[in-house]
Structure 1
Amino acid sequence: MNIIGVSAFFHDAACCLLQNGILKYAAEEERFTRRKADASAPIHAMKYCLREAGLSITDIDCLAYYEDPSKKLARQIWSGILGHPGELLGSVSPGHVETQIREVLGYQGQIKYVDHHLSHSASSFYFSGFRESAVFTVDGVGEWATTTYGVGNAKGVKIFEEVDFPDSLGLLYSTITSYLGFGVNDGEYKVMGLAPYGAPGYVKQMRRLVQMEAGGKYKLDMRYFDFLAGICMYSPELAELFGRPPRMEDAEMEQFHMDIAKSLQVVLEEILLEKARYLHDCTGMENLCMAGGVALNCVANGKVLKHGPFKQLFVQPAANDAGGCMGAAAYAYVDLTGESMPVEKMKHVYLGPAYTNNDIKKFLAPTNIIYTDCTGDPDRLCTLTAEKIKEGKVIGWFQGRMEFGPRSLGARSILADPRHPSMRERINAMVKKREGFRPFAPAVIEHRAAEYFDLDHPSPFMLETCQMIADVSLPAITHVDGSARVQTVNPHTNPRFYALLEAFDRITGCPILLNTSFNIKGEPIVCNIEDAMKCFITTDIDCLVIGDFIISREENSLELLQFLLMHERSIYSTLNHNVYTFV
């Protein structure tokens, strides 16, 4: 059975293909269109999935969509969003989704609508490898639900309690994100990265924003919020509560802002821990699956596992809306076939496009770009690359299938030496072109991780933080509070990245590399060869290692400039940075 899963028309549109219950391919639409968080119908992502599987659209048995448009419309009408200036009823009507599926995606077969939080829940449980688990989903809002409590077992996934809009931990976090001058739906992870620089001096005020209730319930104090109006996330009372006006986007980052971020993180962790304990009391289960955008807060995830009652935690690596396509497809498969999903833990997310050496050679052939060809000799490729990293070079690493989800995990990555004291500042300023407080993640050989980090289990998806414990200096990947967001790498899921880590270990005695996403601020992670070349050329990356080829900037300065002039492309963003995109 071939099932296409689709998430779209909100943000982070994506498509996946499930064949007989096995996830084969998945990709976000933004990677193809180059529009950050592209919400449009994922036609490019769907074409990719079909092409790789050798299928046509008529071979698809069902298209599963990640929410119920009718329920969503009811919530939008209730909140008054259809009365906003310039809003078109047709763009949010229940029939709009089907029209897009039929006319834009070209699919005429069976459509199955799966509730948003069921899609999130299924995206975690069905790929966790657990035979039974409690399921905890927390995000901004789906149709009505913002937080749900459920269970997954052989009978499927079931939600037994929920918190409804407008009470939402995701919207609480997004409101403070906006107050701190960052973009909503885009800057929440910046707030998480800023928090360790602050002190929890505003926890008392932050707790006033949300009132805890019995069981799984809580309520926002709506005096401090204005997102129902669709113009701004917060009301003037929020600024009065904290005693300072909102920060403008380009304004100086002060200690006050860091303290607000820290206080928010503390309160979020308190609430998640309390509600996780409640969920454990209800289910008595040892395993926990988390999903939804809030589950991308890797700091909170680590606290829930370390201080909560559950023995094991699984967070699906595309826990945001993009991953909802996976859950919708899996839920539809179980519902349509009456069979269980395979009980197997997701091992990797290398589910996107790949390019061969012939593709790369063909792309480079019309240029004068000089490169080192290591075809047929991967050991030489990894050794040469490791030596360049030891010399202080920043590497663009483009290998194999692109990752699905928001993290680069050694397929589309920027790599550097974690021991270099100025490397983090250099990459933030000259390569990523982003805020200097933002941390970078370490990628470490899996069986060596416990030597350096307080981590006793694999962490392949960068979804947990832990403390650095080794008596060595790794300033480029250690955050100000001594924590790190670790990716463990084994030879089975990404043999080439593992081989590079081994080569670097042989040369330096350090089995760790700095790993960050291969993109610059405001752009999606690179997808194809041209994207990689343009990001390489327009940043301060020293070398591009693409397939079996190494391209060095110092050998190609004029040739790279000529290439850039030949391949001009504009990048646009579709995000509304002022208010959560409910439509």
Structure 2
Amino acid sequence: MRNHIGIYGIPDDGRKFSPKGNTHDHGMASITAERCTMVELERYTREKHDNHMPSHIMDILPSMTAPRDEVVITSVSSFLGSGFESDDGAFSIQPVSMEISDITRSTECTVNGHSVEGKVMCQEFAHIASCLPFIGSFEENSLLIHIDGGATDSASSAWIWESGKPTMIRASWDDLKDVVNNYNVNPLAQSILGLTMEDHLSMPGKLMGYASYGHCNAELEAWLKSNRWFLGTEDRNELLREINGFFGTNYTEFDNHKQEFMDVAYAIQHGFEEAVLGYIAEMKDRTGAEHLCYAGGAALNIDANSRIRNESGFKSIFIPPCTSDSGLCLGAAAWSYFCENGEVPKQSPYLGPNEPTILDQVEDLAKELSERKVIGLVTGRSETGPRALGHRSIIARADNVDLRRTLSEYMKKREWYRPVAPVMLESVAETMLSDYAPGDRLAEYMLGTYHVREEYLDKFSGVVHANGTVRALVLKDNREPLFRILVELLEKYDIAALILTSFNTRGEPIVETVEDAMRSGKVLGLDRVVVL
């Protein structure tokens, strides 16, 4: 059996941008005709954003292969290079010289002294190819977009899929670099949120949540843009003087409870949205594309995604659940499989390597949840990507602000301004969310926002953002234990949705095993951990 292995594991260069270095979210994926499996290194080692694949590859690789497999290994390159070797020397991928438009190049790969078919793949298209396990193949006349902080040789790229193959239209470091950097290294945003350069991987989610408290101020946005968003201005006293000068205030410190700072965050978010939508619109006009597949870390920005859905005019839009660097290994495996077979077997987002033994019963949970219990849920294989999708999640009633505060701020120790997301049945979404339409794939992976109809706001009081939206996960598969729990909650207790947040303590990855869950559940102080 041909086993297509994808690896993202280029080691760091030692010039530390943060404690994790310049690479993050290493992983390995395997795709055969029968099964797709993905190991995100952080969940294996319990080190958030782990980038030490060279230390672990020879422990993980045997679990991804069978004795008679004919293995093909594709390694994803980065701006740091294209080759790497395991710490013990048992595995090596030789570097290659290639252009982004080549997508892949064959190279020498050695495992335990044996030669294995090997390839190197550009990071740009590995992001895009991470869509394939969930859609099978690209639609004819699809625009393929990657936007991320730094790939092999660009921060953004655009491709057109025609006649069964991709053609690169554009790749650049400059087109969107500033607006992407606003979301991970902007000194002004860091000052407002009390963060440092070391928080560049967690800042985007925090800034996006905080921005929902701000108001539109075109003059403010124009001023920030004219100052290049103050990128590179590290002196916080100087930044505060600039803010006081613009607003006519006399603040002596950054206080994220003040409206002026909320409005700055809104302006950064809006500037990001305008730049991304403008870029995609330009590429759409240039190619005449009818469909969009979009990946890269920037595609985790749910407000921008929702505007793309509502304003771009594509017939279909798809963003994968593992759209960040966590999905690069999957994209590499998927592209290798696709090039040989013309289509990738469609997968759910639950690709983790471990499937626990069922220990508990669904029937007990609805009553406990109705009684305002906070429950950790472990079921089936873990979800891929950074978002909780119901298999390694913490759940509680979505209609109670105090319960949300207990879970988010006291148990998980998250900031006051960060919202939590709801999970609901599609019948509920169709009735209670004004801009949800059946077939909206953003809602399958919690990648879009939706407005709650005013008459139903009380049912979502614990999960509504300050701007009146929710980041909803809509469940359609009635085989899922969480689907059955939601049905019982709706029918017996008139509870329309649950809070759904990732099952992890502050600073750790999402739990993978039952043992991880029990340990984290105890630290968090959950009422119960269930295994279904």
- What TM-score do the two structures reach when normalised by structure 2? 0.82
Aligned position for 2:463: 477
Q: Distance in 2 between matches of 1:497 and 1:193?
A: 26
Choose from 303, 306, 326 the match for 2:307.
Answer: 303
Matched with 2:203 is 187
Aligned to 2:422: 442
Report the Cα distance in structure 1 between the residues aligned to 2:450 and 2:215, rounded to whole angstroms.
Answer: 19
Q: Tell me whether 1:544 sits opposite 2:529 in the alignment.
A: yes
Residue matched to 1:571: none
3-state DSSP of counterpart to 2:145: strand
Residues 1:197 and 2:199 aligned together:
no
The SS at the match of 2:362 is helix
Residue identity matched to 1:121: I
Amino acid corresponding to residue 493 of structure 2 in structure 1: T
Ranges in structure 2 where 5+ consecutive residues have no aligned partner: 12-22, 93-109
Cα pair distance change 1:110/1:116, threshold 3 Å:
same
Show the counterpart of 2:485.
500
Q: Distance in 2 between matches of 1:123 and 1:306?
A: 23
Q: What one-letter code is carried by the residue in structure 1 that aligns with 2:354? A: P
Alignment RMSD: 3.0
Structure 1 segment 19-168 matched on structure 2, within 5 A:
19-20=32-33, 24-41=36-53, 50-51=62-63, 55-56=66-67, 59-67=69-77, 72-73=79-80, 95=83, 97-99=84-86, 103=90, 107=111, 108=114, 109-124=116-131, 127-129=134-136, 130-132=138-140, 133-164=142-173, 168=177
| Contact 1:175–1:233 (CA under 8 A) maintained in structure 2 | no
Residues 133-532 of structure 1: pairs in structure 2 closer than 5 A: 133-164=142-173, 168=177, 169-176=179-186, 177-180=189-192, 181-182=194-195, 183-201=199-217, 202-208=220-226, 224-226=230-232, 242-243=243-244, 253-335=257-339, 337=340, 339-342=341-344, 346-357=347-358, 374=360, 381-453=361-433, 454-457=435-438, 458=440, 459-469=443-453, 471-472=455-456, 473=458, 474-491=460-477, 494-532=479-517
Deviation string 1:183-220 (CA, Å, 9 cap, x unpaired) is 1022211100111111233311232256xxxxxxxxxx
Amino acid at match of 1:19: T
Q: 1:248 offset after TM fit, Å?
A: 13
The separation in 2 between residues aligned to 1:324 and 1:12, in whole angstroms, is 9
Aligned residue identity for 2:531: I
- Cα 1:290–1:242 change in 2 (3 A) is farther
**What does residue range 542-581 of structure 1 map to in structure 2 within 5 Å?**
542-547=527-532
Q: Secondary structure at the match of 1:131?
A: coil
3-state DSSP class of the match of 1:327?
A: helix
Counterpart of 1:117, as a letter, is E
Q: Which moved more, 1:98-107 or 1:535-544?
A: 98-107
2:155 is paired with a residue whose SS is: strand
Query: How far apart are the structure 2 equivalents of 1:468 and 1:512?
Result: 12
Kindly provide the amino acid, as one letter, of the partner of residue 348 in structure 1.
P
2: distance between equivalents of 1:414 and 1:190? 19
Amino acid in structure 1 at the alignment position of 2:157 = T
Q: Give the secondary-structure state (helix, strand or coil) at the position aligned to 1:416.
A: strand
Higher mean C-alpha displacement, 247-256 vs 170-179 = 247-256
* Higher RCO structure, 1 or 2 (CA under 8 Å, sep 6+): 1
Residues 308 and 248 (structure 1), Cα distance of their counterparts in 2 relative to 1, 3 Å cut: farther
Q: Distance in 2 between matches of 1:395 and 1:531?
A: 15
- In the alignment, the residues of structure 2 paired with residue 101 and residue 166 of structure 1 have an alpha-carbon distance, to the nearest angstrom, of 40
2:3 matched residue in structure 1: 2
- The Cα of 1:310 is off from its aligned counterpart by 1.4
Instruction: For residue 433 of structure 1, give the secondary structure of its aligned residue in structure 2.
Output: coil
Q: Distance in 1 between matches of 2:252 and 2:353?
A: 37
> 1:103 is matched by which residue type in structure 2?
A
For the Cα contact (< 8 Å) 2:352–2:381, is it kept in 1? yes
Give, in whole Å, the separation in 2 of the partners of 1:522 and 1:444.
Answer: 27
Residue equivalent to 1:16? 29
- CA distance 1:421–1:179, shift in 2 (3 Å): closer
Q: Which amino acid aligns with 1:193?
A: G
Residues 2-11 or 385-394, more deviating: 2-11
Does structure 2 conserve the Cα–Cα contact (< 8 Å) formed by 1:178 and 1:233?
Answer: no
How many angstroms apart in 2 are the aligned matches of 1:162 and 1:62? 28
Equivalent-residue separation in structure 2 for 1:123 and 1:154 (angstroms): 20
After superposition, the Cα gap between the structure-2 partners of 1:42 and 1:541, relative to the gap in structure 1 and judged at 3 Å, is farther
* CA distance in 2 between partners of 1:240 and 1:113 (Å): 49
Alpha-carbon distance in 2 for matches of 1:408, 1:45: 26
The two structures have a TM-score, normalised by structure 1, of 0.75
Distance 1:239-1:278 versus aligned 2 partners, 3 A rule:
farther
In structure 2, C-alpha distance between the alignment counterparts of 1:189 and 1:248, rounded to whole Å: 27
Asked if 2 retains the 8 angstrom alpha-carbon contact of 1:442 and 1:515, the reply is yes
Quote the sequence identity (%).
27
Structure 1 residue 334: Cα displacement: 3.9
Shift of 1:27: 2.4
User: How many residues align structurally?
Assistant: 478
How far apart are the structure 1 equivalents of 2:82 and 2:240? 37
- What is the distance in 2 between the residues matched to 1:67 and 1:249? 42
Whether contact under 8 Å (1:354, 1:400) holds in the other structure is yes
1:259: how far off? Answer: 1.7
User: Aligned in 2, Cα 1:267/1:525: closer, same or farther, shift over 3 Å?
Assistant: same
Q: Tell me if the contact between 1:417 and 1:514 (Cα under 8 Å) persists in the aligned partners.
A: yes
Alignment of 1:535 onto 2:520: yes
